[in-house]
A and B are shown apart, each in its own frame.
Chain A
Amino acid sequence: MRSMKFKFYLLLFFLFIGPVLFLILQSFSEVWRYQSGEGLTFNLQSYQVLFSDPNIAEATLWSLVIGVCVLLFNLLIGLLSGKGLALYSFTGRSFLEALFLAPILVPVLAVAMGLHLFMIRIGLADTWMGVVLIHLVPTVPYSIKIFHNTYNQLGHGMLEQASILGATSFKQLLTIELPLLKPAIRSVTFLTIVISLSQYASTAIIGGGRILTLPMIFFPFLNTADASLMAAFSIWFALLPFFMYIVVELLLFLLPYTRKPWRNG
């Protein structure tokens, strides 16, 4: 049994923790060449170069703005429809469930190409709002599914009780649903921002190359930049979801019945 545990941690290290550690190490050091006979030299140069790039601030900002908007849409759509699907039974429910999941199966590239002309016509091409809309396609289905599952687990008894006691829908949402939906909100935050950050092709098509997000500068960077710089850039990518996660976590503290760490008990 002990050896199983050892094997597990070995696997965990090599498959998941090790690569990330390597990326961090690489970002803080110069590229290692065995032939040069030198050891690792540590410096912050790659981060300096990264942040001195005039585009990085703009791209980070746009990635965040777009990510936050995509997240808000996801929370709204996911929460409402997840609740509808879980708490009501109606004809065509399983068909609707399948239909809501379908957008992650169709190629986002096809949808982006198809919507491109339409977005030009209504003036959303080359705008950040257009990019937000196209990023909804690969994210919203996951959110609906996550909220659907969570509401399923919640059951309707809890909500029924609140409405019997006369709570308004808003009060019910604030005091019962949101506190219990915290795990779902966390997962949706995390998934949404990572998927939004992963979009290169769809952002390029709808944003027309004019909306500069992080992937838009990562790809051209690849040909010229050295490994340490790219590693620093890669770490920067992971910090964004991390940052969003912390912000959402802080916002969740505002919810009622949340155990505050600075309060005992």
Chain B
Amino acid sequence: MSSGWKNSGLMKSSKSKLWFLLAPALVFLILPLYGMFAAVRSSINGNQGLTFTYYVQLFQSERFLSSIAFSVRTSLVATVIAIIIGLIITRLFHTYLDKTTPRLSVWLPMLFPHFVWGYLVILLLAETGLIAQIFLVVGWIDGTGQFPVLTRDPYGLGIIITYVWKEIPFVILMLLPIYSSIPTSYYDLVKTLGGRSWEQFRTVEWPHIQPVLIETFLILFSFTLTAYEVPALLGTTFPEMISVLSYQWFYGGILEERPLAFASMVFVSIVILTLTLAGYFYMNRRRMRAMRGRL
């Protein structure tokens, strides 16, 4: 697409223009890069130079270990469910979603910050919430005490429900352009060859959506794993999400705990980075294979 442009004289004269265009973004990158660098440095900076004691301390801490297990499980479940539901909705209804009003209604939850949606989940699903009251009116339960504990529960159900609900629109947002751009003739081909819904999904849709699904998964998973606001609102004190624990270590006022906050956040970043690299290499390998197949 850009080959003609690349070789034209215009292009050569504007190599410096390219750097002018990219400079602000490169300056911006200093913020996250320096932030991460400083966090890593704080996590290995002992009284006598380089030390890994904080990491050792971290992995001996029962609180940290249960927190990280809880966080990974909760975010994984929330992300996977959100992606599956979002995918099903997009798949079944993308022709309706192309129209403006339905599309804007789907984006409605995006108007609210995550913790506001979390509060809505409390309003709806708490033991005295709207759903429990309705169940009481209908007579499915005798008292609000019989309603299951869905918010501020030890299993992270409230956190999961909030994230699933809030992220479905995001999943649809990522998938909709792709579904709208798949040529209908592909489906016709599969149908002509006798393929049913599942074959259509596997042969037509899957190759198109897979890279976006991986990207969506990485964005959502890393966000859910490290966000503070929703778990602070809907979680319990034990087990707690890793961000809540780190925030407490950082802000709790005990100076010895601060390096632990850095160490735990750096550890989580390493987990995310590893996952991202794995996803990236997986996609690249597939792309290479696809190209070889074409040649």
Contacts of B168 in A (CB 8 A): 15
Q: By the criterion of a CB under 8 Å from any partner CB, how many residues of chain A are at the interface?
A: 79
Contact string, A91-111, partner B, CB cutoff 8 A, digits 1/0?
Answer: 000001011101111111111
Residue of A whose beta carbon sits closest to that of B268: A107
Question: Which one of B119, B229, B233 lies within 8 Å of A234 (CB-CB)?
Answer: B119
Contacts of A215 in B (CB 8 A): 113, 115, 229
Residue of B whose beta carbon sits closest to that of A155: B1
Contacts of B238 in A (CB 8 A): none
Contact string, B137-177, partner A, CB cutoff 8 A, digits 1/0?
Answer: 10000000000000000000000000001001100000000
Q: Interface stretch among A54-62, A195-203, A252-260?
A: A195-203
Asked whether A110 lies within 8 Å of B31 as measured between CB atoms, the reply is: no
Q: Once the chains are docked, how many angstroms separate the CA of A218 from the CA of B168?
A: 24
Contacts of A178 in B (CB 8 A): none
CB distance from A77 to the nearest CB of B (A): 5
CB distance from A15 to the nearest CB of B (A): 7
At the interface, yes or no: A140 with Cβ under 8 Å from chain B? Answer: yes
CB distance from B33 to the nearest CB of A (A): 9
At the interface, yes or no: B280 with Cβ under 8 Å from chain A? Answer: yes
Q: Interface stretch among B50-58, B101-109, B194-202, B204-212?
A: B101-109
Name B236-259 residues within 8 Å CB distance of A: 243, 246-247, 250-251
Name B99-146 residues within 8 Å CB distance of A: 102, 105-106, 108-116, 119-120, 123-124, 128, 130, 133, 136-137
Asked whether B247 lies within 8 Å of A109 as measured between CB atoms, the reply is: yes
Contacts of B225 in A (CB 8 A): 107
Residue of B whose beta carbon sits closest to that of A164: B10
CB distance from B253 to the nearest CB of A (A): 13
Name B27-82 residues within 8 Å CB distance of A: 28-29, 31-32, 34-40, 42
Question: Which one of A100, A144, A155, A201 lies within 8 Å of B229 (CB-CB)?
Answer: A201
Q: How many A-B residue pairs have CB under 8 A?
A: 219
Residue of A whose beta carbon sits closest to that of B272: A105
Asked whether B219 lies within 8 Å of A104 as measured between CB atoms, the reply is: yes
| Contact A238 B5, CB 8 Å, known A34-B133, A106-B269 | no
At the interface, yes or no: A4 with Cβ under 8 Å from chain B? Answer: yes
Contact string, B253-293, partner A, CB cutoff 8 A, digits 1/0?
Answer: 00000000110011011001100100010000000000000
Asked whether B6 lies within 8 Å of A89 as measured between CB atoms, the reply is: yes
Question: Which one of B11, B233, B246 lies within 8 Å of A109 (CB-CB)?
Answer: B246
Q: Once the chains are docked, how many angstroms separate the CA of A222 from the CA of B276?
A: 36
Contacts of B123 in A (CB 8 A): 22-23, 26, 227, 230-231
Asked whether B276 lies within 8 Å of A105 as measured between CB atoms, the reply is: yes
Asked whether A201 lies within 8 Å of B36 as measured between CB atoms, the reply is: no
Contacts of B190 in A (CB 8 A): none
Asked whether B243 lies within 8 Å of A109 as measured between CB atoms, the reply is: yes
Contact string, A1-35, partner B, CB cutoff 8 A, digits 1/0?
Answer: 00011001101100111011011001000001110
At the interface, yes or no: B22 with Cβ under 8 Å from chain A? Answer: yes
Asked whether B112 lies within 8 Å of A237 as measured between CB atoms, the reply is: yes
Q: Once the chains are docked, how many angstroms separate the CA of A12 from the CA of B93?
A: 10
Asked whether B29 lies within 8 Å of A110 as measured between CB atoms, the reply is: no
CB distance from B222 to the nearest CB of A (A): 5
At the interface, yes or no: B24 with Cβ under 8 Å from chain A? Answer: yes
Q: Once the chains are docked, how many angstroms separate the CA of A85 from the CA of B6?
A: 13
Main secondary structure of the interface of A (DSSP, over half): helix
Q: Once the chains are docked, how many angstroms separate the CA of A163 from the CA of B24?
A: 23
At the interface, yes or no: A76 with Cβ under 8 Å from chain B? Answer: yes
Question: Which one of B24, B34, B124, B276 lies within 8 Å of A80 (CB-CB)?
Answer: B24
Contacts of B136 in A (CB 8 A): 34
Asked whether A81 lies within 8 Å of B120 as measured between CB atoms, the reply is: no
Q: Once the chains are docked, how many angstroms separate the CA of A65 from the CA of B64?
A: 38
CB distance from B42 to the nearest CB of A (A): 7
| Contact A113 B229, CB 8 Å, known A84-B18, A105-B222, A242-B111 | no
| Contact A32 B25, CB 8 Å, known A222-B233, A238-B112 | no
At the interface, yes or no: B179 with Cβ under 8 Å from chain A? Answer: no
Contacts of B28 in A (CB 8 A): 73, 77, 136, 140
Q: A33-B133, A96-B22, A114-B38 are in contact. List 4 more A-B contacts (CB 8 A).
A: A17-B108, A100-B29, A201-B243, A222-B119
- Can you list 10 contacts pairing A with B, beta carbon distance less than 8 Å? A81-B22, A87-B5, A107-B226, A107-B269, A113-B39, A113-B250, A113-B265, A118-B38, A200-B232, A234-B119
Mark B residues whose CB is within 8 Å of A: 1-2, 5-6, 10-11, 14, 18, 20-25, 28-29, 31-32, 34-40, 42, 89, 92-93, 96, 102, 105-106, 108-116, 119-120, 123-124, 128, 130, 133, 136-137, 165, 168-169, 218-219, 222-223, 225-226, 228-229, 232-233, 243, 246-247, 250-251, 261-262, 265-266, 268-269, 272-273, 276, 280
Mark A residues whose CB is within 8 Å of B: 4-5, 8-9, 11-12, 15-17, 19-20, 22-23, 26, 32-34, 73, 76-77, 80-81, 83-85, 87-90, 96, 98-100, 102-115, 117-118, 133-134, 136-137, 140, 144, 155-156, 160, 163, 190, 194, 197-198, 200-201, 204-205, 215, 218-219, 222, 227, 230-231, 234, 237-238, 241-242
